[in-house]
Amino acid sequence: MAANGVAEFDGQLTSPAGVTGRRQNGYMFIVLGGSPSGRTTLTELNAAGATVATESLSRPELLREVARREPEHPRWVWDDTSQWYPVLLAAGLAVERCHDLRLCHRILRLAEAARDTELARAQPNAWDDAPLEQTASGTALFDDVADLAEASDAGSDPGARDPIAEFTLQRAALDAVAAGSPTAASRLQLLLAAESSGALIAEEMRARGLPWSTAVHDAALTELLGPRPQFGGRPRKLQAFADSIGELLQAPGLNPDSQHDLLRALKRAGLSVTSTSKWELRSQKHPVVEPLLEYKKLSRLHSANGWAWMDAWIRDERFRPEYVVGGVVTGRWATRGGGALQLPAQVRGAVRAGDGWTLVVADAAQLEPRIIAAMSRDEKMAAAGREGDLYQGLVNAGVVDTRPHAKLAMLGALYGATTGESARLMPKLARAYPRAIGLVEHAARTGERGDQVSTWLGRSSPTPGPTWHAAQRAAAEAEATAVDERRARQLARDWGRFTRNFVAQGTAAEWALCWMAGLRIRLRALADERGEPHLAYFLHDEVIVHSPEDLTDAVTDAISAAAADAGRLLFGSFPVNFALTIVAVSSYDQAK
């Protein structure tokens, strides 16, 4: 283990954890080009990147070849896992590892450590994503990102993508990084391997699906909302709430879904509110508040995860979310459709293990505090988490008086609280843990200047865009007004809060990727005639493994061991532990 905590690399990736490690004899890359549905070009490269063989294959030939070569543990190199892997999985072919050129390209293009490489200097090309479609609520923060992708509208043209040329460029970029900093290169290499492993996991989870009981889901909806309406419209119980809201506000027929109408009715009834949001309503004393809050809760359930959602997303008692690996700038995953990362507690009971199977639900406790403790080598903060609950550890260390205060103070540090109780408590942490808090403070200052920050493994933050820089320039002019200065300061602080959180959230995402990658390999080894335990769900710092009941203990051990592996892989022997809560349940609502 290298002093920096990253496992030593000898150029290639293999290991017990399946993420990284030692080169084996005959290690090889197999690059797939063309298309999985049409003709494929298969090119075998040796460890040095030299072409060993190349052939053109039809689809059946491709499947045969993958099956034949996989036992040699090659790293499959392709442009986009989400395009290739489902075809293989549909044919019953799982692969151990891959290199996803698109995902790795994105990381390397933005990485500070790889700034002076040919890959980073190249004009935007087909390997750069088209700009991510903004969601309806698209944030102001990222409307202004100076993104490499902006200039690229060729991103969707796979014809312009040469996987071998791109792979060669990426390897050259890593070599160039290694020439300046072997540590930076080995970390980036680990990140690329972990990201690619994540891409495999995402497709495998989608292929398996999350076991979902439509009967339980339907029963829960019926219980809370009333029977499913035959011809649309509001379910009975929801309508009853709407009616009573209308009566209490003396506005018969009021549609509570109309913010405009609702706000007007609330004001007319004498409530002093400026919006219809929950937090503001809660402070009001009026008989309408309770039914209105209840209506909002049920209405949201109905529209977001009601029968329509069930019809759209559940097939054959499986929920198959489309995960978007690295879909968040920090490296967290997103999903496309189905809102899989926002499954409300109300419907989690519908996630049910099959007969003779169980759900092993594991989540990492206070992950981000442990991450910043390890990144900053803050032994004191790491020690506070040693016994399990890090927040309680802060209380026991006499840093704050209660656990809720510990949590509030920590969130303030991670998010950059400026007002309120959180901001008042945070300085206690800064005094007790100058290293860990100093790390996030430094990240904030860096962002405020408009500079990039990077995660532990080297995923870098985007830089602010032209509007941001224009505002800073305007404030620096001699004739700048107070308004100019206030605006510039506001934008700078906003960006600083983003970069502050980026290092913690992004490194936590890397730990989670390594955890899952290692777990996946361990689970494969557990498969026997009783069945194959497999990852079924991932939520930032939490996983669900669907497992044969008989293997519950082995799966639990695998989850713990994989977490410890991930900690060592990233942070070496630094004494931080990544505490887990692990429970085996028959349905997801029983966890937590």
Tokens of 527: 């498969």
Q: 528 by DSSP, 3-state: which?
A: strand
Residues 243, 244, 250, 255, CA torsion sign: negative
Strands 75-78 and 51-57: unpaired
Q: Which amino acid is at 403?
A: R
R_g (Cα) of the chain, nearest Å? 26
Contact, 318 vs 279, CB < 8 A?
no
The contacts of residue 469 (CB under 8 Å, 6+ apart) are 450
Nearer to DNA, 25 or 135 (CB): 135
Task: Give the angle subtended at the CA of 128 by the CAs of 122 and 134, to the nearest 5°.
Answer: 140
Task: Give the angle subtended at the CA of 38 by the CAs of 35 and 40, to the nearest 5°.
Answer: 55
Nearer to DNA, 11 or 465 (CB): 465
| Least distance (Å) between residue 324 CB and DNA | 6
Calculate the alpha carbon distances from 262 to 239, 240, 270, 551 in Å. Answer: 15, 16, 13, 53
Task: Give the angle subtended at the CA of 578 by the CAs of 575 and 583, to the nearest 5°.
Answer: 145
| Least distance (Å) between residue 496 CB and DNA | 9
Q: Which helix or strand (DSSP H or E) is residue 84 part of?
A: helix 81-90
| Least distance (Å) between residue 263 CB and DNA | 7
Tokens of 85: 């892997």
Nearer to DNA, 23 or 315 (CB): 315
Q: 49 by DSSP, 3-state: which?
A: coil
Running DSSP on this structure, what letter comes out for residue 276?
Answer: -
| Least distance (Å) between residue 276 CB and DNA | 4
Nearer to DNA, 38 or 252 (CB): 252
Nearer to DNA, 8 or 401 (CB): 401
| Least distance (Å) between residue 422 CB and DNA | 3
Nearer to DNA, 142 or 574 (CB): 142
Ordered DSSP codes for 479-496: T--HHHHHHHHHHHHHHH
Q: Which amino acid is at 30?
A: I
| Least distance (Å) between residue 519 CB and DNA | 17
Nearer to DNA, 42 or 562 (CB): 562
Calculate the alpha carbon distances from 84 to 76, 89, 101 in Å. Answer: 10, 9, 12
| Least distance (Å) between residue 252 CB and DNA | 16
CA 525 to chain centre: 26
Nearer to DNA, 189 or 461 (CB): 461
| Least distance (Å) between residue 63 CB and DNA | 31
On the CB side of 364, CA atoms within 13 Å amount to: 31
Residue 166 gets the label, from left (phi > 0), alpha (psi -120 to 50) or beta, of alpha
| Least distance (Å) between residue 81 CB and DNA | 18
d(CA 9, CA 175): 12
Nearer to DNA, 526 or 591 (CB): 591
Phi first, then psi: give them for residue 514, nearest 5 degrees.
-65, -40
The contacts of residue 374 (CB under 8 Å, 6+ apart) are 382, 567, 570, 571, 574, 576
d(CA 165, CA 177): 18
Nearer to DNA, 164 or 503 (CB): 503
Nearer to DNA, 232 or 398 (CB): 232
d(CA 558, CA 584): 13
| Least distance (Å) between residue 338 CB and DNA | 5
Nearer to DNA, 313 or 574 (CB): 313
Report the interface residues with DNA, using CB under 7 A.
Answer: 134-139, 141-142, 255, 257-261, 263, 274-280, 283, 296-297, 300, 303-304, 309, 324, 327-330, 332, 334-339, 341-345, 363, 408, 411-412, 415-423, 494, 497-498, 500-502, 505, 539-542
Residue with tokens 């049910």, as numbered in its chain: 352
| Least distance (Å) between residue 468 CB and DNA | 13
| Least distance (Å) between residue 38 CB and DNA | 29
Nearer to DNA, 326 or 548 (CB): 326
Helices 367-375 and 482-526 pack at an angle, to 10 degrees, of 100
| Least distance (Å) between residue 304 CB and DNA | 5
